[in-house]
Amino acid sequence: MKLFRKTISWFGLAAMLFMLPSCSEYLDRQNQSTVSPTDAFKNFVNFQGFVEELYYCIPETSKFYWQSSFNWGEDEIIVAGATWFYGYKIDNGDFWGWQRENDGWGSGWMDGPGNTLDRGNRFNKRFWPLAWYGIRKANMGLENIDRLTDATQEEKNLIKGQMLFFRGWFHFQLMTYFGGLPYIDKVLPADQKLDLPRLTYQETALRAAEDFKAAAELLPINWDETDAGKRTLGKNQLRINKIMALGYLGKNYLYAASPLMNWSSTGSKTYDAELSKKSAEAFATLLQLSETGKTAHKLANFSEMSSVYYTLNQGMRIPGFPEAIMQSPAYDGGATRWGLNEQYVAGVLFNGGSTCFSPTANYVNHYGMANGLPIKNAEQADSESGYDPTDPWKGRDPRFYKDIIYDGVKMIQGISATREAHRYANLYTKGSYRDENNGSRTGYLNGKFIPRTTNYDDNGHNQSHFIHLSYMRLADVYLMYAEAALHGYGSPAGGFPGYISAQEAVNKIRRRAGVADVNAKFLGSKDAFMGELIRERAVELAFEGHRFNDLRRWLLLTERPYTLKTAHDFDRAPGGKVANLKERVILERRFNSKHYWLPLKVVDVSMYLAFPQNPGW
């Protein structure tokens, strides 16, 4: 790929990258000036300017287009007829749709036309070209690291650590969707024939682990506490650091250990215990740093969880603190107003304009009871858990009330001259919020990312409302640690030596939300506990873009009930009660083993025999 030969002021660019007030320019040279390779790498400021472009290679999947499809599991369903979204294509088994050649309108965040390095245009952040570009650029920097002579050892470590992390991270992102790949650790000459063979998933992951481990050794916990970072004090929260490197080291090992990846590498559909132990160790190291106050990361108070996902009337401040570990740069705060608000609201509240993505009823069923017990059947009363289908919103996991808009929730807060009949969510069968083409198809709406003033009466969407999701946050790390510890050490009571057990890690997240600990009946075996861990990840990380990859790596994507998308049909009874609740299948996804990996581009697998297509495609 073409190398952009620019001298970039690290300090001026930091303001653009992190959406913070601008700093002074530290270089006299014009931004568009071309310089020699020696000048580009000679000192920390110039080299960091070179590295900054790697941050712009991170897509912001949740605000990619006017509305963005990024939840591809059994978690949500799009209004009928919205065939252009990749989530719709996946539901129909058309996994080719991620590619611009098979997309038709360029809406997908994974691939498409456009200037992919346009710093301000979220539409042009395409995963496939940016990942390969990022790998090449990281290798360019690593091959020129010895030219960095006008720098302290700390500055050299910062530069090298970032590039090692990005090389590992882009490979990890690619192999998550496509399986084992060549691990490219040098700049490939454009005039020579390509012949690098595809590695197995685990072989690729072990190479990425080397880069993540090396990055963790070189990078600080907090850039603000380094001499170099003090130049941009308070503006370093998105910079790659030791915690991100440890987090992705653990996630990389956990994915490599998981049944899909182990099956594709060794033929065994089980967890790899040794890789699970390596994963648990990396996560335990990260979590102990957090728990001893050595990092700024900590679990947010439950009452303040909305600030992890969005900010409102805070001058477009990036949400996520204190739980976000890794986020993309924020390319366009206004995208929340024009896109995601409409995506989660019934059309009747937006003058009919809505391309609604509604939570599936089967996914809402994962939100069990506050006593920690699951709902066995949404249509039947359960004396053990206390669930009652005539009062199905009562006594639920407290996260249910934060994440899910159900029948009767107050949606218009102020005076309404024209929509008084729609003030409360009419999500019962044939209610005004239920609409196959312009509202909820399931009896529920997603309330996780929007305030209850998002409508044309309260006009909350025209305020400073900014959604920004994390690639990784601390609660996710606790749950990944629990999974790694369970399968590495053989039981819910197992854990990395000197650190908490798998069951305690899950209970830590539940207690934060006010949910009872995992019930004793699920602690007797790995399988029983894993069922609760699968449900816990569904609830805690709902609609944050994790579910599709979780189902794939667990080899559950093709298995019932995870292939189903359902609705709850019911009548509204007096006193806010429910009558005649029935669960109806809207869609069953017809998947087979080939759907565990996305198809590679035909043009790429046609280059040479050692780079074959994924099975079944």
Q: How far apart are CA 460 and CA 458, in angstroms?
A: 5
Is a pLDDT exceeding 80 seen at residue 26? no
Q: Is 13 in contact with 329 (CB distance < 8 Å)?
A: no
Report strand pairing: 578-588 vs 404-405.
Answer: unpaired
pLDDT at 63: 80
Domain ranges of the chain: 37-64+109-240
Centre a 10 Å sphere on the Cβ of residue 66 and count the other Cβ atoms it contains.
14
Q: Which residue, chain included where needed, has tokens 């010895």?
A: 146
Which amino acid is present at 91? Answer: D
Of 234 and 256, the one with more pLDDT: 256
Per-residue confidence at 40, pLDDT binned at 50, 70, 90?
confident
Distance CA 614, CA 612 (A): 7
| Beta strands 578-588 and 564-572, pairing class | antiparallel
Q: CB–CB of 370/398 below 8 Å?
A: yes
What is the percent of the chain with per-residue pLDDT over 90, rounded to a whole number? 75
Mean pLDDT of 216-241: 95
Mean pLDDT (the chain) is: 90
Rounded distance, CA 498 to CA 115, Å?
Answer: 49
Nearest to 305 by CA among 401, 370, 427: 401
Residue 3 pLDDT class (50, 70, 90 cuts): very low
Query: Is the model's pLDDT at 392 over the cut of 80?
Result: yes
Say what the pLDDT of residue 333 is. Answer: 65
Distance between CA atoms of residues 557 and 74, nearest Å: 9
pLDDT at 16: 28
Cα(305)–Cα(303) distance, rounded to whole angstroms?
6
d(CA 204, CA 256): 9
Predicted local distance difference test score (pLDDT) of residue 34 = 45
pLDDT for 352-384, tens place per residue? 766 899 999 999 999 999 999 999 999 999 999
Q: How far apart are CA 7 and CA 47, in angstroms?
A: 9
Quote the DSSP letter at residue 81.
T
What pLDDT is stored for residue 522 in this prediction? 98
Residue 145 DSSP label:
G
Kindly report, residue by residue over 181-193, the tens digit of the pLDDT.
999 999 999 888 8
Count other C-beta atoms under 10 Å from residue 111's C-beta: 21
In this structure, which long-range contacts are made by residues 386-395, counting pairs with CB atoms below 8 Å and at least 24 apart in sequence? 389/578, 389/581, 390/573, 390/577, 390/578, 390/579, 390/581, 391/577, 391/578, 392/578, 392/581, 395/369, 395/370, 395/371
Q: Cα-atom radius of gyration of the chain, to the nearest Å?
A: 24
**For residue 389, is pLDDT > 50?**
yes
Reported for 429-435, long-range contacts at CB under 8 A and 24+ positions apart, including other chains, are 429/569, 429/570, 429/571, 431/407, 431/572, 432/346, 432/348, 433/346, 433/348, 435/79, 435/346, 435/347, 435/348, 435/356
Given a contact cutoff of 8 angstroms between Cβ atoms, the answer to whether 464 and 521 are in contact is no
The pair of three-digit structure tokens given for residue 59, joined into one six-digit string: 């897509």
Question: How far apart (Å, rounded) are the C-alpha atoms in residues 448 and 459?
Answer: 18
Scanning the structure block, which residue is given the tokens 């609760």? 532
Looking at residue 267, its pLDDT comes to 98
Angle, CA 48 vertex, CA 42 and CA 49 arms, to 5°:
95
- Mean pLDDT is highest, among 324-338, 349-363, 403-417, 541-555, for 541-555
Alpha helices in 357-435 (DSSP H): 361-364, 398-403
Which amino acid is residue 43, in one-letter code? N
Structure-token pair, residue 299: 């679990």
Question: Given a cut of 90, is residue 501 above it in pLDDT?
Answer: yes
Phi, psi at 383, each rounded to 5°: -65, -30
Sign, CA torsion 251/254/260/261:
positive
Residue 33 has pLDDT above 60, yes or no: no
Would the pTM of this model clear 0.85, i.e. be above it?
A: yes
Alpha carbon distance 254, 275 (integer Å): 7
Average pLDDT score over residue span 248-264 = 98
pLDDT (mean) for 284-303: 96
Least confident of 20-29, 32-41, 242-251, 543-552: 20-29
Say yes or no to pLDDT of 489 above 60.
Answer: yes
d(CA 65, CA 323): 26
Q: Which residue reads 């089967």 in tokens?
A: 362
- Which residues in 17-27 are b (16+ Cβ under 10 Å) and which e? bbbbeebeeeb
Cβ neighbours around 365 below 10 Å, total: 21
Cα separation of 70 and 65, whole Å? 11
Q: Are 31 and 8 within 8 A, CB to CB?
A: yes
What are 352's two structure tokens?
């009919």
Compute the average pLDDT of residues 506-510.
Answer: 98
pLDDT at 575: 87
Q: What is the mean pLDDT of residues 438-449?
A: 95
Of the pLDDT bands very low, low, confident and very high (cuts 50, 70, 90), residue 280 is very high
Q: Mapping DSSP to helix (H, G, I), strand (E, B) and coil, where does residue 499 land?
A: coil
Other C-beta atoms closer than 10 Å to the C-beta of 512 total: 18
CA-based diameter of the chain, in Å?
A: 77
Q: Where are the alpha helices (DSSP H) in 179-222?
A: 201-218
What was the pLDDT predicted at 114?
Answer: 65
Would the pLDDT of 20 be above 50? no
Tokens coding 225: 């506490």
pLDDT of residue 354: 67
Start-to-end Cα distance in the chain: 27
The fold adopted by the segment(s) 37-64+109-240 is 1.25.40
In the predicted model, is pLDDT for residue 14 greater than 70? no
Structure tokens at 262: 């182990």
How many Å apart are CA 561 and CA 581, to the nearest integer?
Answer: 19
More confident residue, 7 or 419: 419
